[in-house]
C-alpha cells in the first residue's frame, strides 16, 4: 500500500497531540516504576542471600532499596509536572502546529524520563547488589560502594532535569486565537 495516505508523517500529524501527551505521561511513570521494581528485585535478592552469611547487613543495606524506590518517585513527580502542562484547546486548533509541538514535547519528555529512570533503576540495583555482597564479606567496603551507588542514582536526576527542560517547550495555542 503506497501513497500519501500510508506515510508515517501523515499518521503522526493525524494523531491527537493529547494522545501523544497521555502516552508520554504514562511512559514516564510506568517505565520509571519498572526500573525501580527491577532494581529492588536485583538488590533485594542479593541482600537476602548475603544476609544468610552476615545478618548484620540487612538494616544497613536497605539504603540501596530506598535509592531504587526514589527512581519510582522521580517518575511520579515528572508525571505530575507533565499533567499540569496539559491545557484545553478549541477543536479548531487541536491540530495546529503549536498544539502538535506541545504534544510531542510532553511525549518526548515522558520517554526521556521513563527510560533514564529504567537505566538508573538497573544501575542502582546492580550496584546495591554488589554492595550487599561486598559488605557481607568485608564491612569496610560498604561506604566506598555506597558513594558509587549515589553517583548511579544521579542518572535518574539527570533524566528528570532533561525532561523538565523539554516539557518547558509545551505551550498550547491560546483559546482566543
Start-to-end Cα distance in the chain: 38
Q: How many CB atoms lie within 10 A of CB 28?
A: 35
The 3 state secondary structure assigned to 68-121 is HHHHHHHHHHHHHHHHHHCCCCCHHHCCCHHHHHHHHHHHHHHHHHHHHHHHHH
Which pLDDT score is estimated for 82?
Answer: 94
Which residues in the chain land under pLDDT 70?
A: 1-6, 175-177
CA atoms within 13 A on the CB side of 100: 11
Collect all residues with Cβ–Cβ distance below 8 Å to 118 and sequence separation of at least 6: 31, 32, 34, 35, 38
Which pLDDT score is estimated for 6?
Answer: 63
Q: Which domains does the chain show, CATH number per domain?
A: 23-169 (1.20.120.610)
The reply to whether the predicted model has a pTM over 0.95 is: no
Collect all residues with Cβ–Cβ distance below 8 Å to 11 and sequence separation of at least 6: none
CA distance 157 to 161: 6
Q: Give burial (CB, 10 Å; 0-12/13-18/19+) of 149.
A: buried
Which pLDDT score is estimated for 2?
Answer: 52
CA distance 160 to 43: 23
Which pLDDT score is estimated for 1?
Answer: 45
Which pLDDT score is estimated for 4?
Answer: 56
Amino acid at each position: 500500500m503506497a501513497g500519501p495516505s500510508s506515510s508515517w508523517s501523515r499518521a503522526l500529524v493525524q494523531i491527537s497531540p493529547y494522545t501523544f501527551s497521555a502516552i508520554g505521561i504514562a511512559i514516564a511513570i510506568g517505565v520509571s516504576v519498572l526500573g525501580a521494581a527491577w532494581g529492588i528485585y536485583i538488590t533485594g535478592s542479593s541482600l537476602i542471600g548475603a544476609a544468610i552469611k552476615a545478618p548484620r547487613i540487612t538494616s544497613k543495606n536497605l539504603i540501596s532499596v530506598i535509592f531504587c524506590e526514589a527512581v519510582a518517585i522521580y517518575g511520579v513527580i515528572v508525571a505530575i509536572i507533565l499533567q499540569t502542562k496539559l491545557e484545553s484547546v478549541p477543536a479548531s486548533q487541536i491540530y495546529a502546529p503549536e498544539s502538535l509541538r506541545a504534544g510531542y514535547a510532553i511525549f518526548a519528555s515522558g520517554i526521556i524520563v521513563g527510560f533514564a529512570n529504567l537505566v538508573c533503576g538497573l544501575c542502582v540495583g546492580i550496584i546495591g547488589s554488589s554492595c550487599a555482597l561486598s559488605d557481607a564479606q568485608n564491612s569496610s567496603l560498604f561506604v566506598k560502594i555506597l558513594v558509587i551507588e549515589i553517583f548511579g542514582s544521579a542518572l535518574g536526576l539527570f533524566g528528570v532535569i532533561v525532561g523538565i527542560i523539554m516539557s518547558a517547550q509545551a505551550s498550547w495555542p491560546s483559546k482566543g486565537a
